[in-house]
Structures are given as structure tokens and as C-alpha cells.
Amino acid sequence: METTAAWKSLFEAWPDAIPRLGMVVTSFGEAIPFQAFMISGGLLLLERDKPDQFGTRKVILSYEQICAVRLPTTMELSRFQVMGFQSPI
């Protein structure tokens, strides 16, 4: 699966059991913390809990710009199986 499609699939199928809280790292090297998100076609709308240095709380980003998603949760890895993750054999 292409990386862009993988990110899109991850956000589209984000389960309610996993908090919509984390940080997106972009190809620009920017780390964008989020407390909520919405999807629209090829775009992701992230909501910050605090404004950045420019006073913005919302960021619209294409999936192509995502390099990583960082999550602050302490949940067991097995809880992420609902997102399609699995243990290697």
C-alpha cells in the first residue's frame, strides 16, 4: 500500500477506543500536536489544544505530507490491532 493511502486509511478508520490525541510529524519537519481531527478526501484537519506561534489552532494537511504520527498513550500494543496492526510471526 502506498504511504499516502496508508495514512488516509489510518485516519479514516481511527477507532473510538483510541483517543484522537497525538502529534503529526510532517515532511517539512514540523511537529503538529492535535487533540482532535476530521477528514475530507485527501486532506486532514488537525485541531491543536493551544495556538502555535502564529496564533493558529487548526491545520489542514495533505496525507502526502505526513511522515509520522506520535501517540502519547500508554495503552498496550494489542489494543492497536483494531487499527490493522499485528504482531510479526
The pLDDT of residue 84 is: 85
pLDDT tens digits along 23-36? 999 999 999 999 99
Can you read off the three cell numbers belonging to residue 24? Answer: 503529526
66 closest CA partner among 19, 17, 2 = 2
**Candidates 2.60.120, 2.30.30, 1.10.3470, 2.60.40; correct CATH number of 3-72?**
2.30.30
Which pLDDT score is estimated for 38?
97
| Top-confidence residue, 44 or 82 | 44
Percent of the chain predicted with pLDDT > 70: 99
**What phi and psi values does residue 23 have, to the nearest 5 degrees?**
-145, 130
* CA 32 centroid distance within chain: 9
Give me the pLDDT at residue 20, please: 94
Quick one: cell of 82? 483494531
